[in-house]
Amino acid sequence: MSPDNLIRLGRSYAGSRGLALSTVGRLAGGQGTFFRRVAAGRVTIRRVDRAVQWFSDHWPAELAWPEDLLRPEPQPGSLAAVAVDDDPAEDPVQAVHAALDLARARAEAGDREGARRAEDAAIQVASTLRPDGRIASVPALCDALDLSRDVYYDVVRRFAGRRGIGRQTRRGSASDRMLRALANAGDTRFALFRARLQGTPEKTASRAAQEPLSAE
C-alpha cells in the first residue's frame, strides 16, 4: 500500500474515533510520529503491512473501508472479526462476551497473542460511543474491563468534565482503569484526560501509559 493511502486510512480512522493522528500512529505503528515517518518514506514495507493489518482488525463497523484499497482479512479475535458475527451497534454486551470467551479459549490453548487480540476486541466493542459522544453501553464496558457499574458511576461523579481537575487515581486501581478506558474511547465528558494523553511527549509515552491519570 502506498504511503498516501496508509495516511488516508489513518486520518479516516482518527476522524471516526475522535482521536489525534499521533494517537492513531501510536496504536497502529507504535509511535506518535509514525505517519510523519510514512510520509517521509522512512518506514519499512513490513511496518506498513503491520499497520494496514491493524486497521483491518480494528476498523469500525459503521465506517466503510475505502473501495479502492485492498483490505487484508481481519485476524480471528479482532474487533472486525467479532463484528462479522455480532453487530456491536445492536448488541455490544453479546459482542463483548463473545470476544472474552474467545480470549479465554485462546489463553487455555496457550495462544497468548490471540488472547490479547480478543481482549483488545472486547475493549474496542465496548468503546462505541452514542451520537452525543458518551459511551454507548455501560454494561458492555464494565464487562470488558471486569469492573462493576458502581466503579463507572463513581468515576463519572468524581471526574467528568472539570470536576476531575487536580484529582488523581491510584495506578492500576479500578477507577484508574475505568477512567483510562473512558478517555481512550473518546467519551466527551473526559476530554481533559484524553487531551493529556494525546499531549504526552513521544519519548515518555510508554511510561505515561503506566502512570495514574489526572487533569493537572
Alpha carbons within 13 A on the beta-carbon side of 198: 19
Residue from 92, 105, 98 nearest 142 by CA = 92
Q: What is the signed CA dihedral for 186, 192, 197, 202, rounded to 10 degrees?
A: 130
Rounded Cα distance between 152 and 178, Å, is 7
Which pLDDT value is given to residue 188? 87
Question: What are the phi and psi torsion angles at 73 (to 5°)?
Answer: -65, 130
Residues of the chain with confidence (pLDDT) below 50: 85-89, 200-216
Rounded Cα distance between 83 and 80, Å, is 5
Which pLDDT value is given to residue 131? 82
Q: Is the pTM of this model over 0.75?
A: no
